[in-house]
């Protein structure tokens, strides 16, 4: 009985739910910085989850404003997984290019909030 319980407890982390945590963000543009505070990380994660992605080809009209690298931890025993994004801020929106084909668009409110977090 104890052996079966011990085996289950040891195998649970291998087959249990994967939890992905955003642990930090490093960015550069006009200024460089790092975000490590959990409430700011949660806000940025929410913004990136709300991006509306399109599969159209992206044509930049200017150099990107910010390059941000998001560091995710899926397992404490494994290295962090990195996702790099380039962000262009315009008057009424922001455009984001990342790992997915195409690009993403943020509305004016989300773009301004992201700009404030990454300044």
DSSP 25-36: EEEESSSEEEE-
Between 78 and 17, residue with greater pLDDT: 78
114 closest CA partner among 61, 59, 45, 55 = 45
Contact between 86 and 96 (Cβ < 8 Å): yes
- Inform me whether the pLDDT recorded for 32 exceeds 70: yes
Tell how many helices (H) and how many strands (E) occur in the chain. Answer: 3, 7
- Structure confidence at residue 34 (pLDDT): 95
- Inform me whether the pLDDT recorded for 37 exceeds 80: yes
How many Å is the Cα radius of gyration of the chain? 18
Distance CA 26, CA 19 (A): 21
């Amino acid at each position: 009985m104890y052996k079966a319980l011990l085996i289950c407890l040891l195998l649970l982390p291998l087959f249990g739910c994967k939890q992905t945590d955003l642990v930090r963000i490093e960015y550069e543009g006009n200024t460089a910085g790092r975000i490590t505070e959990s409430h700011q990380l949660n806000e940025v994660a929410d913004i990136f989850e709300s991006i509306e992605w399109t599969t159209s080809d992206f044509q930049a009209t200017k150099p990107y404003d910010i390059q941000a690298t998001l560091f995710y931890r899926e397992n404490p025993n494994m290295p962090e997984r990195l996702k790099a994004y380039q962000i262009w801020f315009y008057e009424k929106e922001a455009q984001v290019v990342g790992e997915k084909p195409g690009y993403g668009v943020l509305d004016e409110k989300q773009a301004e909030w992201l700009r404030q977090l990454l300044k």
